[in-house]
Amino acid sequence: NAMPTNVRYFDLTHTFEETAVVLPGFRKFFKIDQLMNSSSDDFGGLWFKAEIYSQNSHSGTHMDAPSHVVPDGINIDEIPVSQFHGPAAVVDITERARLNVDAEVTVQDFLEWESGTGQSLNGTIVLIRTGWAEKYNDQAAYLGTADTAEDTSQIHYPGMSVEACHWLAENRDIKGLGSDTLSPESAITFFADNLPCHFAMLPKGMFLLESVAVKKELPLYGAYISALPQKIVKGSGAPTRIVATIPKIIENLP
């Protein structure tokens, strides 16, 4: 067995299927068709299965490339692969979000993360943990409404404040930012302030990860992230498989 035995692996990716949540008014599209599913004489009676699938590139667990909001920004297939890997900086507002669906990450949260861990956010992949990953398969819980129309007034979920978006983009050199909600910004900030994390961070070459299945087992510091998007030519985003590894010594895991 060539796999390392001193680490534990966590899949931070929601399964891609028709129930994937998207913003109301944003075309929800996922389709999978069986191309072949049989034991065929063409293969000597052996089992053979294949599918054709299509989906919205900004649905489910996915990565936003700079070109998502920057006309001349780099596309998903142009991001250096070295940027997809790095130490995770987990900023946890789960308790705050449990009490207030509109809870926001503040600049102070980032400063306290650095002072508490003794680490810099520079060079990390920042993950915002709100507890919303557990609500993913229930649109009413995940978005605050089951309405799929274009009215966004009833959408509520926690996330980054305007100030936190700009501070992180301007004061720290991170590889990317991910959250377990539909966008890194809180819903209120997303709609009222025109996607501030998107417009602050993507132009600087950072990527965004949305609808990440951020596990409660991840420590604030000590996990390592690999986030690998599909290499879609000229894509502004792509479905992404995200894996975290944690040295067992950190949690005294068996």
Instruction: Note the pLDDT tens digit of each residue in 2-15.
Output: 556 789 999 999 99
Residue 252 lies in a domain: no
Residue 77 lies in a domain: yes
CA–CA separation, 60 and 29 (whole Å): 11
Which pLDDT score, from 0 to 100, does residue 141 have? Answer: 94
Weakly modelled stretches of the chain, pLDDT under 70: 1-4, 24-29, 35-43, 148-150, 250-254
Which pLDDT score, from 0 to 100, does residue 38 have? Answer: 65
Residue 2 lies in a domain: no
Residue 141 lies in a domain: yes
Question: The domain containing residue 100 runs over which residues?
Answer: 7-247
Q: How many domains does the structure of the chain reveal?
A: 1
CATH code of the domain in which 242 resides = 3.50.30.50
Which pLDDT score, from 0 to 100, does residue 54 have? Answer: 84
Which pLDDT score, from 0 to 100, does residue 149 have? Answer: 62
Q: What is the pLDDT of residues 98-135, one digit of tens each?
A: 999 999 999 999 999 999 999 999 999 999 999 999 99
Residue 37 lies in a domain: yes
Residue 121 lies in a domain: yes
Which pLDDT score, from 0 to 100, does residue 254 have? Answer: 44
The reported pTM is 0.92
CA–CA separation, 110 and 89 (whole Å): 10
Q: Following DSSP, what letter does each residue of 72-107 receive, concatenated?
A: TPPPGGGS-GGGGEEEEEEEE-HHHHHH-TT-EE-H
Residue 238 lies in a domain: yes
CA–CA separation, 215 and 219 (whole Å): 9
Per DSSP, 59 falls in state S
Residue 143 lies in a domain: yes
